[in-house]
Amino acid sequence: MRDQILSYNQMCSQENTSLQRGMNFRLNPNYSVLLMSQRKNAPYQDEIYDDGITIEYEGHDVNKSDAEFPKLVNQQLKSKKGTLTQNGKFAKAIDNYKSNNEEPEIVRIYEKLFDGTWSDKGFFKLIDYKYKKSGKRKVFRFILEEVDVDFNNNEKHIHKLKPTSRIIPSDVKRVVWERDGGKCKMCGAIDNLHFDHILPFSKGGASILPENVQILCARHNLQKSDKIE
């Protein structure tokens, strides 16, 4: 569920696997999974656009077994064995989408807020990529746009995002988490938590202001939603 707060174990349980890497192409029959972070010590430079629905995700480096200093080496489409890397699999999906009129790859993104604390950012469609200079090497930059997706009997139906919300920036989530003490603002619950817009985006509320974001448990989040017309 979008903006749900999860522990690492809960996130792995939700995906029925142990998530050991950031890029996981077609981890699920219906979608791929990306793990991102905008913390100061994050190994990659991921970005949320000002439009509030687009993410630019940096591809991943070669394995340490293939290069002594991976950060000095161009990110690769293929491994030394000639198989597609995770970068290559995501790039190929975009090429097929753009050249063969295939449906875009659907990607679920989880964001690391603190050690052991993650946020489900929801589903995105993979629409483009760049291979560009970054310092003295080249890196992949994958472009993803948030969408609404219905899954039914292993079939997915992609819908244009309803104008009811926008991505809550990472720094705002961290401020709100600290301010609310990692608990529901209404009852103090510490499980089944979500980041919630106090005034919905559709009614003029901002996603970029901590003052308009709070932590609610699932019960109070649902009760609040039921009251919004």
pLDDT one-digit tens code per residue, 172-225? 999 999 999 999 999 999 999 999 999 887 787 888 899 999 999 999 988 886
Kindly report the average pLDDT of the chain as a whole number: 91
What is the C-alpha to C-alpha distance for residues 170 and 47, in angstroms, rounded to an integer?
Answer: 10
**Exposure b/e, 17-53, CB count within 10 A at least 16 = b:** eebeebbbbebeeebbbbbbbbeeeeebebebeeebb
Tell whether the model's pLDDT for residue 229 goes beyond 50: no
What is the C-alpha to C-alpha distance for residues 196 and 126, in angstroms, rounded to an integer?
Answer: 26
> Who's near 138: CB < 8 A, 6+ residues apart?
74, 75, 131, 132
Q: Enumerate the β-bridge partners of residue 58.
A: 141
pLDDT one-digit tens code per residue, 112-133? 999 999 999 999 999 999 999 9
Q: What is the pLDDT of residue 205?
A: 80
How much is the pTM?
Answer: 0.90
Q: In the CATH scheme, what is the code of domain 5-159?
A: 2.30.280.10
Q: Enumerate the β-bridge partners of residue 105.
A: none
What is the C-alpha to C-alpha distance for residues 46 and 37, in angstroms, rounded to an integer?
Answer: 7
pLDDT one-digit tens code per residue, 41-76? 899 999 999 888 999 999 999 998 888 999 999 999
Q: How far is CA 170 from CA 27, 97, 223, in A?
A: 24, 29, 25
The rounded percent of the chain whose pLDDT value lies above 90 is 71
Place of tokens 């619950």: 189
34: nearest Cα among 76, 80, 81, 93: 93
**CATH 2.30.280.10-classified regions of the chain:** 5-159
